[in-house]
Structure 1
């Protein structure tokens, strides 16, 4: 945001959790509607998710201020007589729908009101993916306002008229977003990207078998009996911490790959998160929120939603690795906080989000060095980056396939089980996406089997036709 903008983002702490609000520099107070949105929807969300939405809402408010010389809050409160503000939500939502294309131009042109995006020499100033996120967040905010204010409390509509009006706004705002995305070419095919020299890179966001095998080879810790020269964590200021670093990072990768944890869930794990499983056999990982004190991180991790709390039974080898790290390597004396993963500095503070991403940056550099065929587009590789969430995609893809092919689940049962294991809400579309991915994969495999069978039958037919010539 530039200095001339009326609205800016302001961070604040709420019950020990960091959050963000849209602040009005004219009054020194938070903007009303974004504050209601934050209170209703955002306080239970992770800080990165809240920031994404508040950036979009803040840009919308600055766009509205520049174009109409008034705030969007003021648009909702029309004063028809002195001292008597009248709430006009329908007029404000209609005006927002009319100005939706203008906002698209505003963010696409670097927050300018005069640029024309349809001229031939026009070049957008933001990435396609960023623009699409901005429009998605704004649409969600406007639909929140529609659900809140299209009611008998704020309008004179009957219940039937309220439903019809709300459905109308939902269709209109989603339609405006789709139209803007189509005209500005914001949604490229997700499986495709361009490498250097224009090569087409085709891949899913999950890791394939070769990539998983290479990651496992590199992340395996060295032992007194067998050194692992591929391990990227060979050096440390304190040589005693080298084995601690290798075991900790190996545990991180196994927990993400085998159980599909989100990065925030991983960083929230405590030493006591390993609990006896309800069935009485084995132990389970308890994914829960943390309400206590003692988290010194500037951006404390949080669960994505209420469905994220769950129990995940651990394999015996992962239990042994957990106990090895906690009992012998985590820190002596014991760190003054309950979190499982700690840094290797003297304070043994809890691992931060940035430090966790550094683990995958180090690992990717090692993959580039020792497995260039996986990473280099010129050599046929497609792994152009490595992020923590790619392990969750891999886990979900493999788990859905196992539920269908090994456990014999039908698609609906498999989606329900995947939803429970992955901590998705009842309305989340993610399990359906993995089901569609499985259908595509199995359909392609069936098509290749058919072609192979046809080639075999054709070869056998040709052999039979040639047999009389040799008699």
Structure 2
């Protein structure tokens, strides 16, 4: 971010990038800095002063921005226009509150960074005040998330972003490649090489919950075989390939994303078969998934999105009831990200059942299952994203528990 008057980088956003954002993906950096741009524009319009200067002049007093969060929310609602006389009577129908909430949450992360790094805590009173201000910020964050969940649509009922077991099987069925013996009329991709490559991509995404960026970073050397145990695995890591000119360039999301995941022998064999029979031999890149058209460039984010758009159209035509909102288990769209949600849901269910076999406490079992899911999915230990990805299972589990309670303790009048 550049100050328009001084033509120099804004100090605190620059420190934030260097300290917190530099190891994040480019898309995450862009999203966070875009939110900061709105915050700085709001502050300039309201106070006619750069936020960095205001924060410095206040001697790093966090209270100057806490009381402005609500005003910033209204500013975003009002199409980025500040008006001191403006109050909210009702929600404008055309406003996307999910987008607004995301901006608020990104700003709050930045403000927490400022509090933790610049707030004076050398005396006991300051320590106590720091804790109080941090709690106030977190309360605002929770409110923004709750508001987005309620306001993101005209209905208070949301559609899940994961497939049921039956939907998953239906998806893999339309992705299954034809063989010399059996043709698959549901597969919309024509040539066998494309069919097999795309089927392998679908399998890896839905069986192991890979992020798209992680999938696109797999190389022919990512698969490993343990000579003693016979276990097969995939190594997820950043290639650091300076000749990777894809835009945006795939990157590992965080340090926890660098991991080795065990895969089934069937999937290991499918990868080997793809490399030996379909992946172009004369490709310059070592990356696993390539275009099958010369000069065989690596697949990009847009390639995966286009692939899933084709699958989504076919899936919608063959199984329209899967998209029908009158059913509680309907979906809105089939995408690569939905595959990660699906994996998280099915993985959490299996891990929870397994943990229950060795624990008498439901709370302990679900906690163990979530920790297992975090490690397998490359989430940090303090991440709250797991419950969002696996919300289908958590919701169904809660409803099932409630129905059991009613059956066991309820009375029929």
**TM-score when normalising by structure 1:** 0.78
What's 1:32 paired with? 11
Q: Could you report, residue by residue, the CA deviation over 1:363-416 in whole angstroms, capped at 9, with x for unpaired residues?
A: 110011111121244788722212212111211221222123246353333233
2:306 counterpart (343, 347, 358): 358
Tell me, what secondary structure is at the counterpart of 2:44? helix
Of 129, 136, 149 in structure 2, the residue corresponding to residue 187 of structure 1 is 149
- In structure 1, which of residues 228, 246, 265 is the aligned counterpart of residue 184 of structure 2? 228
Deviation of the 1:227 alpha carbon: 1.1
Match of 1:146 in 2: 115
Distance 1:347 1:304, change over 3 A: same
Conserved 8 A contact 2:225-2:233: yes
CA distance 1:27–1:447, shift in 2 (3 Å) = closer
Q: Is the 8 A contact 2:290 2:299 kept in 1?
A: yes
* Match in the other structure for 1:88: 59
CA distance in 1, matches of 2:93, 2:136: 25
Distance in 2 (alpha carbons) for counterparts of 1:381 and 1:441: 10
**Structure 1 residue 336, shift from structure 2 partner:** 1.4
Q: Once structures 1 and 2 are overlaid, which stretch shifts more, 268-277 or 444-453?
A: 444-453
Alignment length (residue pairs): 403
SS in 2 for 1:104: helix
- Cα separation, partners in 2 of 1:329 and 1:72, compared to 1, 3 Å: same
**Structure 1 pair 247–186 and aligned structure 2 pair: CA distance change class (3 A):** same
Asked if 1:111 corresponds to 2:80, the answer is yes
**Are 2:344 and 2:390, in contact at CA under 8 Å, matched by a contact in 1?**
no
Q: Deviations over 1:160-197 (max 9, x none)?
A: 33431221221222334455677xx433288xx66xxx
SS of 1:168's equivalent in the other structure is helix
**3-state SS of 2:53 partner:** helix
Quick one: structure 1 residues 71 and 303, their matched pair in 2 at CA, closer, same or farther if it must change by over 3 Å?
same
**2:377 alignment counterpart:** 422
- Structure 1 residue 203: deviation in Å? 3.6
Contact 2:160 2:330 in 1 (8 A): no
Distance (Å, rounded) in 2 between the aligned partners of 1:321 and 1:289: 23
Alpha-carbon offset, residue 290 of structure 1: 1.7
Specify the alignment match of 2:361 in structure 1: none
Higher relative contact order (Cα pairs below 8 Å, separated by 6+ residues): 2
Note if contact 1:357-1:388 (Cα within 8 Å) is conserved in structure 2.
Answer: yes
SS at match of 1:29: coil
Larger-Rg structure: 1
Whether contact under 8 Å (1:202, 1:382) holds in the other structure is: no
1:164 aligns with 2:128: yes
* CA deviation map 1:115-134 (0-9, x unaligned): 724235x6265301001101
Instruction: Decide whether the 8 Å contact of 2:159 with 2:328 is kept in 1.
Output: no
1: CA distance, partners of 2:294 / 2:287: 16
Spell out the pairing of 1:55-70 with structure 2 (5 A cutoff): 55-70=34-49
The 2-side partners of 1:106 and 1:454 are apart by 50
Find the counterpart in structure 2 of residue 98 from structure 1.
67
TM-score (norm 2): 0.88
Contact 2:159–2:330 (Cα < 8 Å) also in 1 = yes
- For 1:283, which of 232, 246, 255 is the aligned residue? 232
Which residue in the other structure is 1:16 paired with? Answer: none
Q: Pick closer, same or farther for the CA change 1:106–1:443 going to 2, 3 Å.
A: closer
1:208-287, aligned counterparts within 5 Å?
Answer: 208-234=164-190, 242-277=191-226, 280-287=229-236
1:130 aligns with 2:99: yes
> CA separation of 1:279/1:399 partners in 2, compared to 1, >3 Å: closer, same or farther?
farther
Instruction: Select the structure that is richer in strand.
Output: 1
Of 392, 396, 413, 1:441 maps to 396
Gaps in structure 1 of 5+ consecutive residues: 1-21, 79-86, 235-241, 459-471
Q: Check whether the contact 1:101–1:180 (CA below 8 A) recurs between aligned residues.
A: no
Pairwise mapping of residues 354-433 of structure 1 onto structure 2 (< 5 A)? 354-377=302-325, 382-406=330-354, 408-409=357-358, 410-431=365-386
* Whole-angstrom distance in 1 between the partners of 2:145 and 2:406: 38
Q: SS at the partner of 1:285?
A: strand
Give the aligned partner of residue 17 of structure 1: none
State the alpha-carbon separation in 2 of the partners of residues 287 and 344 from structure 1.
23
Q: Distance in 1 between matches of 2:261 and 2:143?
A: 42
